[in-house]
Amino acid sequence: MTAAGESSASTVSAPAPGHHAPALRKVLSPMHIWALGVGIVLVGEFMGWNFSVEKGGMYGALVAAWFVGLLYTCIVMINSEITSAIPAAGGQYAQAKHTVGPLMAFNVGLYLTLAYTMLEAANANVLSYLLSQLSSLTGSSEELSPYAFATLAIMALAWLNYRGVFAALSLNFVITGFAFITIIVLFFGVSGWNAGISLHLDGLIGSLDNGLPYGWIGVIAAFQFGMWFYLGIEGTAQAAEECRSASRSVPIGSMAGIMTLIIAAGLTWYVCAGLLPWHYLGVSITPLFDAARVSGSGVLVVLLLLGTLFATIASANGCINDASRAWFSMSRDRYLPAWFSAVHPRYHTPFRSVVFLVPIAIAFALLPVLLDQPTLLATVITFSILSGLLTYSFMGPNFIRFRKLWPMGTITRGYVLPLHPAPAIALLLLSGIVFFATFLGYGTALLSLLAFYLLASIWFVQRRYKYVKRGAQFTADLPRPRGY
Amino acid sequence: MTTASILNLLAWVLSALIAAWLIHDVVRVARTHDEKDLINAAEMFDDLDPQAAAPVAPAASSSSSKEDGR
């Protein structure tokens, strides 16, 4: 490990003649990109988004879903253009490396790794909870151990990711597709097109107090949980290097993904608003499953339970994929020891990065149970959300710089962001609003996280930067930017 | 032994088996392959095998100056 990565970067040399560096396998299509993006996110429709109802009421949650949906649409469009030009594993990390510099890239890489690892841990924790619920629903009085099943979930999905990206994301396509279909089935099952039959939306009509119990400040507060509808869709960029044609697959898969999520968010809000009282919905752990139970249909209950389970598994699976790619990318640029940048000779996966992150994810998944502190799970999730938010806040300025470095017509782009710079500015503004909303609810966590990343940056500059090969940072197949 | 405890035990055993397989494969790959055949880095050969490293390449030098100019 040290031999590969700890030597100073003072000398730069050429590869040995005839040597072919092992590479990730290019096997993915738009279908897999969709599965990766939607797979990570869709669990947010099954649980998590509804806390925005507690903060801002039913209309507050809906407004949050729309505005945060706009934020993520900007992210997806920006990602699509940059990734089609810089199709590298690491996604936003590689973008930051090319447009800003090593310190920003290190921070973004760390945000990405921690955001996905924390989300994976939270998913494993929730999965064990769901299995316990399942056993109690079958009439069992005995409790399944959350330790055993959270660990098994992480181990099994890590094994799958270790063995190959194609199988891992093909599985994600199947289970994510199933989970999405269950939301549509629920809509039809409760005759969603005819609100008078089983949905009760009358309470939302009339006085604004019915849907906005805390006024517009409640709407702002709801933004942080509105992120659950879409959090993680930006992860599609992580798979760019493994696409058969990144300039085609990433824009198509990502755009299809955000459209799927906006449809799912709308259906989820509508069905839950019509079936569950807002006071209950705001604190429910599994709102869609609860909506199915209220419907009284046994088939819908089973389907939505399976949908919730599959969405959780798909999210954890996608998170393992993305966290390992971010870690791997930082390693091959020497931001971390090069040992982690090894590619498996048979499976063509970043196998050491996959394995290294397993114990970290297990530790964060089991900690809330071991310490008997259920609120720790919320902290883990908040850590993930804030890390994601930090990534988004850099993407707007980064994109403006990207367009300055490589103006239109100077490079080939698989997708061109329309109305530039409006989406980049909108992204920056919306990120600021969500930051404010998060500060309202988790001010201490936000400040702690910023302090953590500041310390990590100091460590990087003091201890790690000397190993970074500045001459090898520019890896994209792009012409020298203007002004360089 | 109850059904739940059997399922719990099964989950632990499966987790242990997967962990053992992963560790075994990581070690096996490291033993059967040269490190420089595994590492995916643009310029890693000087560190891994100083004897085999070639002199500074012109392309690398120009790339370096480009980066330094940032």
Closest-CA distance, A329 to chain B, in angstroms, reads 9
Interface test with B, best of A1, A8, A12 (most B CBs within 10 A): A12
ipTM score assigned to the predicted complex: 0.85
What's the pLDDT at A7?
A: 42
What's the pLDDT at A208?
A: 63
Stretch A11-24: mean pLDDT? 56
Are the beta carbons of B40 and A148 separated by less than 8 Å?
no
Would you place residue A205 in the very low, low, confident or very high pLDDT band (cuts 50, 70, 90)? low
Share the mean pLDDT of chain A: 87
Least confident of A41-55, A197-211, A360-374: A197-211
What's the pLDDT at A483?
A: 61
Least confident of A137-141, A263-267, A430-434: A137-141
pTM of the model: 0.88
Question: For the segment A86-145, what is each residue's pLDDT rounded down to a tens digit?
Answer: 888 888 999 898 888 899 999 999 999 998 998 888 888 888 888 887 887 777 777 788
Question: What residue segments make up the domains of chain A, in order of their start?
Answer: 26-462
Are the beta carbons of B15 and A142 separated by less than 8 Å?
no
All residues of chain B having their beta carbon less than 8 Å from the beta carbon of residue A474 are: 63, 66-67
Are the beta carbons of A13 and B26 separated by less than 8 Å?
no
Stretch A268-276: mean pLDDT? 91
What's the pLDDT at A191?
A: 87
Closest-CA distance, B8 to chain A, in angstroms, reads 6
Are the beta carbons of B37 and A470 separated by less than 8 Å?
no
Closest-CA distance, B49 to chain A, in angstroms, reads 9
Chain centroid to CA A266: 19
Closest-CA distance, B9 to chain A, in angstroms, reads 8
CATH number of the structural domain A26-462 = 1.20.1740.10
Residue B66 has pLDDT above 70, yes or no: no
All residues of chain B having their beta carbon less than 8 Å from the beta carbon of residue A333 are: 41-42
Contacts 24+ apart (CB under 8 A), B13-19: B14/A152, B14/A155, B14/A156, B15/A148, B15/A151, B15/A152, B15/A155, B18/A155, B18/A156, B18/A158, B18/A159, B19/A155, B19/A358
Question: For the segment A446-473, what is each residue's pLDDT rounded down to a tens digit?
Answer: 888 889 999 999 999 999 988 887 777 7
Closest-CA residue to A90 (of B37, B40, B38, B29): B40
A 64-123 near B (Cβ less than 8 A) = 101
